[in-house]
Structure 1
């Protein structure tokens, strides 16, 4: 059986994710989270988490490593609210880059996709903005990357000011719950 290029790429990506998780596991075995935070310094941890969230939360593949690193850092006696705030702002900032790209790519959609975008836009106009905002909030409660929804909302012309609040609140809630559950689980070990 011959693997196609896409198959090799998927195996490589999966291998890199597994390597990252194994590396973090080995690192955490020899250096507990408190020691890692102590070496980075508490102030630097917040900057590191912001940058990690901004870059790591971009796609499904990088979000796995982001959440793994976030859990490890959160176990190092850092403030849960502070980490959740910084990480949610980083995730949201990364999503806003994709929102901006979506506004610019709207004019590039032509041909067979133009009809689909037109129908989606008409459908979105019939839905109350509050329902869309609620859906954004619930979607951002999942560990799935929000870049896809940010691009889609930009293309259909959903206002930025109505998207930002439910996105930040949802990201904050997700991160805070993840950090607290991780700390609780770690304390039981």
Structure 2
């Protein structure tokens, strides 16, 4: 089983720079950000990137401190699809493109995907690391150090009638085997 912790960060919710991150419990991770978004967009993007980055048949367990993201991807999505992507109250589902992209990524992945909620900010090592990586990514975007590398939030960034274009998301991947990897420096 592959276990991954995810987190998202928004420096000023809504509308501030966002960051997202996932970290494998083997130490590999990925993170990125965007100029503007919400905490929910950041959390959902972290889930999506975690699923997309772990193809294959091995079971994937994603830990998150966001009940919204977990329930969107695993519980609420069932009813939303049945109701034509509407909530119980008949309103359009928020962050629809991300929710649909997560749903597709899970459906296309040959191995099973499960989610586990973890309490945030209580010393869970990998949750804390994901939180720090997401925060650093958001800070980079806020300081103008974010860059576009062609990685976009799914099917977004092109705009659509009635919707503002979604933010582009950059990505920076690093492995514990990389000589630049220094946990003490990264996570002081």
Q: Give 1 or 2: higher helix fraction.
A: 1
Bin the TM-score by the shorter chain. under 0.3
TM-score normalised to structure 1 length: 0.23
Structure number with higher relative contact order (C-alpha < 8 Å, ≥ 6 residues apart): 2
TM-score when normalising by structure 2: 0.23
Higher strand share: 2
